[in-house]
Every structure is written in structure tokens, then in C-alpha cells.
Amino acid sequence: MDFQAARTKMVDNQIRTTDVTSHTVLSAFLSVPREAFVPARRKDLAYIDTDVALETEDGAATGRYLMEPSPLAKLLQLAAVTSEDSVLEIGCGSGYASALLSQLAASVIALESDAALAAQASANLAAQGCSNVTVVTGELEKGHPAGAPYDLIFINGAVETIPDSLFAQLKNGGRLVAVVGVGNASQARLYFHESGNTSERLGFNTAVKPLPGFRLAREFVF
């Protein structure tokens, strides 16, 4: 399979056509080989316009996915990443979004709760020469306070709620990008944190796979 040609078609047919116009975002998608971050037996599916299931090295399901290219590109465009940004990515999976962020930001801490996926991400990113990305393990909803404060926190998956502790890890004037909601009712949102206060701007409607650890507490109804 000609992966370079498939990558170009992905950008032209799946990303540009969904109002992604950022030159830096488009350039990152053109240069990062998506096939290097999907399971070996699924490489031929690397450039289809859907989520790709991630697996352990022995082929076991992880319940995690590589996000569909279009919403991922739109989220990165919404984040407006700059070359001076320090970024915390929450839920790095196999490292694909981390590699994209490495092209856009000054430094990236990629947080992953699944140790096997974190090991995959470290190996994948090293193979791609992403020297400005550090993979760490820990509970996703707790973030990574040791590396704070961040210019940007990028949540790589859908969440039902965002803990206040994550906003506390942002610099004054920092941003957080997330898809909030369940299924087709989800919305991409951009949050701004300044002087201890948080405001938000709606981005676009989308549906992406959820991350573990960000569910709303369920209330009992009598």
C-alpha cells in the first residue's frame, strides 16, 4: 500500500473538506505517518475516515481508539497550538496525536493510564524522532501536576465532565480543549483559564470515543 498517497488523500478528502484551514495543522497531518501508530494487522486501515481500535502487542483489545482524522484535526485547529506552547495531552494511546502535537508545540507531556499503550507510545514516538514528547503514566482525570503549569491541555477523547484540578494545572491565560458529552450529543469546547476563572467557547458538534475516568457521578432517583 502507498501510505504516502493515502496520507495525502486523507488530508485532501477528510480534513480540508471539514473546514480545517490551519497550515500548521495540515502540514503536521501530511508529515506524521498515521500507519506507524496503528496495530500491525490494521495498518491497511490507517487512513480510513473512522476511529481505529488500538490493541496490545499480542492483539488483545484495549477499549481505546485512534481518533478519526477529521475531528482530531478540527480539535487541533481549535486549540490554536503555537510553537512556544507547553502541552499536556491526556489519553495519548499509541502516540499519534502526541506526534502531531510535537510538530506544533515546544514540548508535550503525553499522559496515558494504560501501561501497555504508554510503552507503545514511547516506542512509536522514539521511532519518529519526536524528541520533545515525554510519555508518562497515571490516572487521566488527575492530569500531571508535576509538569504544570501548561499553556494547553488537550484531552484526546470524549469526557462527561472536566475536573477542576485540570484547570488548576493551566498557566494564567492557558487553554483546555475537550469533547464534552456522550455520543452524538457531544460538543468540542475551548476553555480559557485566567485569574482563577474559567470561561468557555463552543467549537463544533462531533462524536468521538470516550476516555475512561471522566464520567459524571450517577444520582439515584427514588
Is the link from the previous residue into 149 a cis peptide, with omega within 30 of 0?
yes
Which residue type sits at 59? G
Question: How many beta carbons lie within 10 A of that of residue 131, not counting itself?
Answer: 10
pLDDT at residue 6 is higher than 70 = yes
Q: What is the pLDDT of residue 218?
A: 62
Q: Model pTM?
A: 0.95
Helix (H), strand (E) at residue 134: strand 133-137
Domain at 3-205, CATH class: alpha beta
The band of 59, judged by pLDDT with boundaries at 50, 70 and 90, is confident
Q: Where are the domains of the chain?
A: 3-205
Name residue, grid cell 519518529. 128
The pLDDT of residue 167:
97
15 DSSP 8-state letter: I
The one-letter code for the residue type at 182 is: V
User: How does residue 221 score in pLDDT terms, banded at 50, 70 and 90?
Assistant: low
Which phi and psi (to 5°) does residue 124 adopt? -65, -45
